A = this chain, B = another copy of it.
Amino acid sequence: MAKVAIMGYGTVGSGVYDIIKDNACRVADNAGEKIEIKYILDIRDFDDHPEKELFTKDVNDIINDSEVTVVAEVMGGLHPAYEFTKSMLEAGKSVVTSNKELVATYGTELLAIAEEKNVNYLFEASVGGGIPVIRPLSRCLAANNITRIAGILNGTTNYILHEMFTNNKSFETALSDAQAMGYAERNPAADIEGHDACRKIAILSSLASGTEVDCERIATEGIADITLDDVHAAEAAGGVIKLIGYAEFDGGKVYSHVAPMFIKNENMLSGINGVMNGILITGDAVGDVMFYGAGAGKLPTASAVVADIVDSAIHASRRKIIGWKKARGDVMKSTGNDFAYLVRCENTEDEVKAVTNADIILCENGTVVFMTEPMSLDSCELLKSKLGKVKSAIRVLN
């Protein structure tokens, strides 16, 4: 019998409760023992809950109860999630979490405390919701040097872009529809501006490189500037635009960005539609592998949290080695990489041909669309200044 506590009874927390109750047999079979919820921590009242006696508002009830060996932190936000997690780890309890902001910001410190205390700090649910990706990246691809990660890591922006492509909606209309469907928050900045995807690619890059990749140093662009003209240009070029969390790994260096990228229809990532997520990982031995599924949502995310609870229960006597150790590696802005660019400009065809021998994809209504050879960001800026009338230049995922 493993006794666990849930910190935070919101969407994910109540999902964790439901899955442990509803799938008790499968969970127990996999854990090798029964999993019992002993506490639920929340500042709100849940007097109508069928197990209202489980609720507490005092985190010390959990910290001081030596019977509790695993704690699910599903509160979200940095504080007090950080302080509570630290206290639990220091009290010798394993912590599992869906809190990408916390893992991306304080992961290095919390992983070090977990190691010191010989307990687990697991965070499968922090990237890709219910999609197994953290553990496969750490363990199943353990024999590979990871060379690249390119992921559609945010369902809200993927839904908006998909609506722009398939239903010809403007960004503004697609956003307000996403809000109406409950796929976007009232304040959608964290999603739209790419910060959510940034936290997730930071976590994946840290795992792949073994070194902390600091969010703050990842060049991050959102999707608010993508127009239906860009959609039209991408379709003419035989592809779509997706918000991509991108990282390349080379000789201990990490080149990472979050930005809208052009993806050809042949690439598996082009088929990731609606709110779904997909993460394409390239290893030197395995080549490309992709993981696909619901990147958010109550039960998908909760199912990943419960899987980590099961794993912590199994590994109670031995630490699961998933994480990274070194703080602050060389995180390079991805400007260090060469990309081809899909360029849309209002020059004449002759003006374009005067400065580049790129293939013209589209030439209509005063707009020229062309794709460049791979080049540095500096070279792209130079090309843009030569043309003077460039409306957009979108990096191409090769």
Contact = CB atoms under 8 A, between A and B. Distances in A.
A43 interface: no
Given A271-B268, A284-B23, A287-B293, A124 B140 contact: yes
B307 A139 contact: yes
B144 A285 contact: no
A285 B303 contact: yes
A300 B318 contact: no
A140 B268 contact: no
A130 interface: yes
B289 A26 contact: no
A20 B144 CA distance: 10
A282 B31 CA distance: 20
A286 B124 CA distance: 13
A136 B132 contact: yes
Interface residues of A, number: 55
A286 B293 contact: yes
Contacts of A283: 130, 303
A32 B321 contact: yes
9 closest Cβ contacts across the A-B interface? A132-B140, A143-B306, A289-B293, A285-B303, A130-B286, A132-B136, A30-B142, A290-B292, A285-B299
Contacts of A145: 23, 26
Contacts of A140: 124, 132, 135-136, 304, 307
Interface stretch (A1-9, A100-108, A309-317, A345-353): A309-317
A317 B318 contact: yes
Contacts of A359: none
A300 B282 CA distance: 11
22 contacts: A23-B284, A30-B142, A30-B143, A130-B286, A130-B289, A132-B140, A135-B135, A136-B140, A139-B311, A141-B303, A142-B307, A143-B304, A143-B310, A285-B299, A286-B294, A288-B292, A288-B293, A290-B291, A290-B292, A290-B293, A314-B321, A317-B318
Given A135-B139, A311-B139, A299 B318 contact: no
Given A26-B143, A286-B299, 15 more contacts: A26-B142, A30-B142, A124-B140, A132-B132, A136-B140, A142-B306, A143-B304, A143-B305, A268-B271, A283-B303, A285-B300, A286-B303, A287-B297, A289-B294, A317-B318
Contacts of A310: 139, 142-143
A289 B131 contact: yes
Contacts of A291: 289-292
A182 B202 CA distance: 40
Contacts of A271: 268, 271
A68 B210 CA distance: 29
Interface in A357-384: none
B293 A292 contact: no
A29 interface: yes
